[in-house]
Amino acid sequence: MSCRVALFGSTQRAIRGEKILKQAGFAVLAIPVPRHINSDCGIAIRLDSKVEAEAVRVLAEANLEPKSVHDLEP
């Protein structure tokens, strides 16, 4: 599984995003932001790259679009 991480502007938004995605049936997990990624928020959402576009769409519909999405591995 190729993983991506979605970054948000605050911890609260990341946690809300994780909850929304889980309720929508996505297998996601809130994780600490990897060291190789610079972020204002310390929490990211890990997701499978195969569902990235759909997950971002669901988040956007909830007004929680991530600031950016990155590869989990450097």
pLDDT tier, 1 (very low <50, low <70, confident <90, very high otherwise): low
CATH superfamily, with its number, for domain 3-71: Hypothetical protein rpa1041 (3.30.70.1530)
Decide if pLDDT at 15 tops 70: yes
Domain ranges across the chain: 3-71
* Rounded mean pLDDT, 51-74: 94
pTM for this one?
0.89
Nearest-angstrom CA–CA distance, 33 and 64: 17
Q: Are 45 and 5 in contact (CB under 8 A)?
A: yes
pLDDT score, position 72: 86
Q: Where are the alpha helices (DSSP H) in 1-74?
A: 11-23, 52-61
The tens digit of pLDDT for each residue in 27-50 reads: 999 999 988 887 778 999 999 999
